[in-house]
Amino acid sequence: MFSSNINMQSVVSKFHIDHMMRYSLFVPRLYNLCLSLGFEAGKITPSRAFCSDENQGFPIILIAKHFGAFPFNHGRVGGIVATDRHGPHADHGEDMVIIQASHVGYDPETETFGSYCRLQTTGHDKTITCGKIGGILQWYLDEYRFAQKNIYLGREEGVHTITIDNHILNNKRAEGLFLELDKLVAKQNGDFQLLKSLSTSRVYAASKELCQHLPEKAWNGSAIGDQLGPEMFTFHRMVSEDIEGYDHLENNLINAMPWIITSESPLLIAAQVSTQAEFDRAYRTIVKEPEYVGKRLLFISCLNIDISPREGQVFPLTKCIPWAAYVQDSDGKARTIEQDEIVEMLNQQSTENPDQINLEAAIQQMIDADEIKIKI
Ligand SMILES: [Zn+2]
């Protein structure tokens, strides 16, 4: 196995995608879980940190229906938690629920992740979803494709060779895809074993590690293509490190990017990694938030899968994959709950919720209520 310096592979593979449930079952289960933890009906202020995409509206409506209150908005585009809103959220109720989710579209016709049908466009266009994540991934995918096409594997006089384009070898670049040359190229007297320099590339002797890792048939003079695995390169990019700034989502993804872009469904894996990063980060801000002290609180991070609506359907058939949760009691007792356990806890809850409100009736009640004249 090709060794990896960073432990990103284990982070990515730890997430069980098969732990999904329909959103219409997830929300009543979550509400009942809150009651089982001592939360009081009628005193809970739910909050959501979702992407701004309109397809996140159906989950929001279900949260309003089952918790009997419209959820506070804790979210920035891409499902980033706006941690400076903890204080205002805490002021609005006794018991606190925060649901964070990154999201990815799913097309049931092609059975692929990453696109979502927009019924409001004339041609029912399928667009990249999450669009924010898709926009970020494009640059990395372009860099990767260039490297796939401009690194060659061959054999010369019995030596396995790796020919690398000079652009990829240029270490003075401020950003780009950078190869883990120590793993790929053989060394001689401490230097990389250069066999010859060509006009736009260099031919090196391949490392023993690479020769063992790739099949013999790969050394046929053609481009490396899909054999360029995530352990063989990293990315450098000039991104702002501002927390919750414009590049926050990109910072969540950059270390895992080799695994994201070489996966079968980059948008799915990227949304998953961002969910994992946001839970880890936001949890630390919640435990430090003075306004949450003395309150019951449940924070859960999930990945929302937006299944494109078919003609005649108003909403997506959203599914939810819970990732992790943090629970605290009013007396300060608190703990984090890992994926298997939170899914098990939710599955033990009833999907019946006698406290849920009838949204149509609630809207009608407001329409029928006597008008209150605003004094100016
Ligand atoms: Zn989005």
Ligand 1 centroid from CA 98, angstroms? 18
What is the arithmetic mean of pLDDT over 346-363?
97
Ligand 1 centroid from CA 304, angstroms? 10
Q: What is the predicted pLDDT for the residue at 3?
A: 61
Query: Residue 204 above 60 pLDDT?
Result: yes
Query: Residue 17 above 60 pLDDT?
Result: yes
Under the banding of pLDDT at 50, 70 and 90, the label for residue 14 is confident
Measured CA to CA, the distance from residue 264 to residue 147 in angstroms comes to: 18
pLDDT digits (tens, 9 = 90+) for 214-232: 999 999 999 999 999 999 9
Q: What is the predicted pLDDT for the residue at 335?
A: 97
Ligand 1 centroid from CA 128, angstroms? 9
Ligand 1 centroid from CA 254, angstroms? 18
pLDDT digits (tens, 9 = 90+) for 25-62: 999 999 999 999 999 999 999 999 999 999 999 999 99
Cβ contact 43:93 at 8 Å: yes
Query: Residue 269 above 70 pLDDT?
Result: yes
Ligand 1 centroid from CA 78, angstroms? 5
Ligand 1 centroid from CA 251, angstroms? 16
Q: What is the predicted pLDDT for the residue at 171?
A: 94
Q: What is the predicted pLDDT for the residue at 2?
A: 66
Ligand 1 centroid from CA 131, angstroms? 5
Stated pTM of the model: 0.94
Rg (CA), the chain: 25
Mean residue pLDDT across the chain: 94
What is the arithmetic mean of pLDDT over 351-374?
95
The Cα angle at residue 118 between residues 115 and 123, in degrees rounded to 5 = 105
Under the banding of pLDDT at 50, 70 and 90, the label for residue 156 is very high
pLDDT digits (tens, 9 = 90+) for 333-353: 999 999 999 999 999 999 999
Ligand 1 centroid from CA 118, angstroms? 13
The owner of tokens 């372009």 is 142
pLDDT digits (tens, 9 = 90+) for 56-108: 999 999 999 999 999 999 999 999 999 999 999 999 999 999 999 999 999 99
Measured CA to CA, the distance from residue 120 to residue 122 in angstroms comes to: 7
The owner of tokens 């406290």 is 355
Ligand 1 centroid from CA 290, angstroms? 30
Measured CA to CA, the distance from residue 102 to residue 272 in angstroms comes to: 7
Cβ contacts of 248 within 8 Å, gap of 6 or more: 76, 78, 80, 242
Ligand 1 centroid from CA 74, angstroms? 15
Helix, strand, or coil (residue 269)? helix
Ligand 1 centroid from CA 323, angstroms? 18
Domain boundaries, the chain: 8-131+250-368, 151-222
Measured CA to CA, the distance from residue 347 to residue 343 in angstroms comes to: 6
Q: How many beta carbons lie within 10 A of that of residue 303, not counting itself? A: 26
Q: What is the predicted pLDDT for the residue at 221?
A: 96
Query: Residue 182 above 60 pLDDT?
Result: yes
Cβ contact 337:43 at 8 Å: no
Q: What is the predicted pLDDT for the residue at 241?
A: 86
Q: What is the predicted pLDDT for the residue at 7?
A: 66
Cβ contact 196:154 at 8 Å: no
